[in-house]
Amino acid sequence: MATKSKNNIALFWSIIALILATVSIGYCFTHIFELYFGDAFRSNRMIVQLTRMFSGGL
């Protein structure tokens, strides 16, 4: 009986993890979509800012 309840808990947390992963991918997809199909000037400005941030020159 204890093994069955552990499997139910594992199944519950697996479903929660899948839902969270799906929501995270959906959230990130909107930003990726905006980066590729959004305003070219804003995208270029963001890439320049990220380059400066990674190189340490903010």
> Any idea which residue has 């993890």 for tokens?
17
* pLDDT computed for residue 14 by the predictor: 92
What pTM was computed for the model? 0.48
Q: What is the pLDDT of residues 8-33, one digit of tens each?
A: 888 899 999 999 999 988 888 877 77
d(CA 49, CA 40): 14
pLDDT at 40: 60
Percent of the chain with pLDDT over 70: 71
pLDDT in the model for residue 42: 67
Range of the domain at 46: 2-55
How high is the pLDDT of residue 1?
47
Q: How many domains does the chain have?
A: 1
